[in-house]
Chains A and B, each alone.
Chain A
């Protein structure tokens, strides 16, 4: 079945870096745009970034622009999020999710991975 499994989360100091991974299975990964979405502890959801199926297009939320980089390896069915210059406010569970309608405004996300927790603290 369609499955997304994130990894790479952990505790990092402010200003540090972390790379998240998301392994996809059960569908043709290279056909789909993918996104990262995060949820701060006890808070709501925030879309972070998306990448097109061939990596030609990316976009970021203003809150992470210039610090985070999304990438993918279609040969490995994997999605990545390189996070640099991390701040306390980046503390969250990070979910990878499949875009159902590419990058179009009417897009929704399905399915989602189980998430990986990133904690930024000294």
Chain B
């Protein structure tokens, strides 16, 4: 059971917009800690997608955007493309677990 809760799967057709939620609690996201997002393509290592809630590293298309409100965060992907099919993970910090970084359980994005 992950500390941060994500939907196991989402799907969308090419060109559509999808969102992936990441729900936490008052000891992590709700405490004001930043949320970061990673993309894991099949058979590869996770890659940073969004940091500091809504910032994109250089090279990440502006089709990817992040937001945070209260005890939740969201990753939005617009103009869906086939190469976006991957697992997506959110990450934050939890002050109740001996102070450690925590991840969501991951969301599998299927491009129909």
A32 at the interface (CB under 8 A from B): no
Of A8-16, A68-76, A83-91, A103-111, the one with at least 4 CB within 8 A of chain B: A103-111
Determine if A112 and B45 form an interchain contact, defined as CB atoms under 8 angstroms apart.
Answer: yes
Residue ID in chain A nearest B106 by CB atoms: A44
Interface of A is mostly: loop
Instruction: Report the tally of A-B residue pairs with Cβ distances under 8 A.
Output: 64
Determine if B100 and A59 form an interchain contact, defined as CB atoms under 8 angstroms apart.
Answer: yes
Of B9-17, B47-55, B67-75, B76-84, the one with at least 4 CB within 8 A of chain A: B47-55
Shortest C-beta distance, A23 to chain B (Å), equals: 15
Determine if A114 and B93 form an interchain contact, defined as CB atoms under 8 angstroms apart.
Answer: no
Interface size class of B (residues with CB under 8 A): 20 to 34
Residues of chain A contacted by B91 (CB below 8 angstroms): 45, 108-109
B64 at the interface (CB under 8 A from A): no
Q: Provide the bound-state CA to CA distance between A46 and B102, in Å.
A: 7
CB contact between B93 and one of A105, A111, A112 (< 8 Å): that residue? A105
**8 A Cβ contacts from A28-82 to B:** 35, 43-47, 59, 61-62
B residues near A, CB below 8 A?
2, 33-34, 36, 38, 44-48, 51-52, 57, 89, 91, 93, 95, 97-106
